[in-house]
Amino acid sequence: MHVFITGGAGFIGSHLAAYHLSRGDHVYVVDNLSTGSLSNIEAFRGNPHFRFVEADILHWGDLGRAVAWADRIYHMAAVVGVKKVLEDPVAVMATNMSGTEKLLRAIHSGGWNPQVIIASTSEVYGFNPKSSFAETDDIVLRSGGRLRWAYAVTKLADEFLAFAYARNYGLNIVVVRLFNTIGPNQVGHYGMVVPSFIQQAVRNAPLTVYGDGEQTRSFCDVRDTVVALDRLAACPAAWGEVVNVGNDQEISIRGLAELTIQRAHSASTLQFIPYQEAYGEEFEDVTHRRPVLDKLRTLTGFAPEWKLDDTLDDLVAIERTKRLCVA
């Protein structure tokens, strides 16, 4: 199989590359390295089945040839992370919407119909008051704090673009709403909570919890996520659909911090930081984000294998190894 991954040097994209290379597939990655890292794909650079190009898909001249080559496309290129979104909302809008439209146009123009995964986000559910979110539930975003929700709005626009192309041109597209993917190689630079907690716990430093920590999230190991994406892409019944992808086990951010300290056998304490101080502006976070996974299970039979405790143990061990190497 020929697999093309935009944003393939990023966190999830690089795991998709590793997954497909392990199966003997040919993998072509493009990434502008704005948030991706060469270190994420360094292990693949000598593999004859792997090709990497540093480029921005908004301006890359070989996009048409790449999509015509591919049997499957994972569109993971996006500006992500709350801090990054607040720092550079212009880049968020340009990359997340224009990049998706350019990719879909290239697929249609190429006359070839590969399997396509378009990455969306659980953030599109916004402030819907339901305790867990199914794909048919309403999208509820506040009128205030507009830049905070730029990422969600762009991803929702990506969804509409994908459905328009799927309906009008019969493209084999699955839109996936990802719920808080975590795992090896994720960094905390842009507001990702788990890698930040892991680094702080291993250093025995205070774990910084934004707000009161009572907001809840559901975390899915990236090694489970890539399996779910692979199965969805290969499932004709999923083409033209939007599907939640994640783990439906829920935990508060305070509970996550306490669990991280426990798994790391750390002497860390908790430090609560107001959103205003953390982000430099008025900020309202959603109180909960838990997926309903019935559709994913029905389509693919998928069930997560990684428990949160096991993922945290793995990340603690990796972080300790990194610190020993630096020392």
Distance CA 191, CA 185 (A): 14
Pairing of strands 2-6, 220-221: unpaired
Pairing of strands 181-182, 207-210: unpaired
Distance CA 148, CA 286 (A): 11
Distance CA 14, CA 38 (A): 10
- Does 275 qualify as catalytic in the annotation? no
* Orientation of helix 308-326 relative to helix 193-202, angle to 10°: 60
Residues 6+ apart with CB under 8 A from 60: 30, 53
Per the CB < 8 A criterion, the answer to whether 69 and 28 are in contact is yes
> What stretches of the chain show up as alpha helix (H) in DSSP?
11-22, 63-69, 82-87, 89-93, 99-110, 150-169, 193-202, 222-233, 253-264, 275-279, 294-300, 308-326
Per the CB < 8 A criterion, the answer to whether 120 and 178 are in contact is yes
Residues 6+ apart with CB under 8 A from 327: none
Question: Using CA atoms in the order 252, 253, 259, 260, what is the torsion angle rounded to 10 degrees?
Answer: 160
Per the CB < 8 A criterion, the answer to whether 97 and 53 are in contact is no
Structure tokens at 83: 């801090």
Backbone angles phi, psi at 312, to 5 degrees: -60, -40
Count of beta carbons in the 10 Å neighbourhood of residue 45 = 10
Q: Which of 28, 125, 151, 279 is catalytic?
A: 151
Q: Catalogue the active-site residues.
A: 151
